[in-house]
Amino acid sequence: MHILIIFVVIVLILFIPIPLCFHFYVSKDRFYVKIYNINLLSNDGGLIKKFLNKKKPKEDKGKNIEKTIDDHKDDNDSSNKKVKFKETPFKKLYHNLAYNKFKPTLKFDSNISYSLGDSSKTAIAFGLLYNINPILLNIFSIIFKVKRYKNDFKPIFKDKILFELTLNSIITFNLAKIIYICFIIIKSFNKNRRWIPLFGDYYGW
């Protein structure tokens, strides 16, 4: 009985959906980044800014000078060495993520109001900006299963430059999906990989 309860709890922890609500706003005079209603970063402050202010170390001029000298020596030494850059398998990573059947879901809503200070330029930019939507949707579809995608552009024909972005999105995931995606990423960069069938698809290990 206890084993069954533990098993049910583990399954719930792994597979219960977790919605993550993300809010982003930026304009000429104001910006904020929020998760749910928690202010992470804004022009007024936020948790990240408070955390960084607390973690500022006291400057030690002597140590900074020594570090600068050491860094300069390291740069000179490294410049005399030939570094071989290894080609990372991003193509394999793209394939594995794109064909992953267990993606987090995404609901994306964005509104952008803008003015370029000239009516003709604003109108031309409107047509160009709407061509971005298919590109963004394809990029999001690599990692997420997109349930809703709405990205509206509102041109404002005024003789001054204006910009306002409001973004609200909900990412729904569970721990099992996150673990699986991490597993895909690690295996995509593994040198000794071979092809094995996984859930009906083939992934390069």
pLDDT, tens only, 46-85? 888 888 888 766 555 444 545 554 555 555 554 444 444 4
- Note the maximum CA span of the chain: 73
Q: Predicted confidence band at 4 (pLDDT cuts at 50, 70, 90)?
A: confident
Q: Give the closest residue to 24 by CA, choosing from 109, 125, 103, 100.
A: 109
139 φ/ψ angles, rounded to the nearest 5 degrees:
-65, -45
Q: Is residue 137 part of a domain?
A: yes
In a domain, 175, yes or no: yes
Residue 181 belongs to some domain of the structure: yes
Q: Where are the beta strands (DSSP E) in the chain?
A: 18-27, 31-35, 38-42, 105-116, 145-155, 161-173, 195-198, 201-204
pLDDT for res 192: 55
CA pair distance 161, 27, nearest whole angstrom: 11
3-state secondary structure of 189: coil
7-41 confidence digits (pLDDT tens):
888 888 888 999 999 999 999 889 999 999 899 99
Query: Is residue 188 included in any domain, yes or no?
Result: yes
Half-sphere exposure of 107 (CA within 13 A, CB side): 9
Does 36 fall in a domain? yes
**Domain tally, the chain:** 1
Containing structural domain, residue 115: 22-57+87-204
In whole angstroms, what is the distance from residue 173 CA to residue 70 CA?
45
3-class secondary-structure state, position 174: coil
**Tokens 């009985």 belong to residue:** 1
Q: Is residue 155 part of a domain?
A: yes
Nearest CA among 106, 105, 108 for reference residue 177:
105
Check residue 136 and give its pLDDT: 95
> Does a structural domain hold residue 13?
no
Q: What is the structure's pLDDT at 50? A: 85
Q: Report which DSSP code applies to 100.
A: -
Segment 139-183, tens digit of pLDDT:
999 999 999 999 999 999 989 999 999 999 999 999 999 999 999
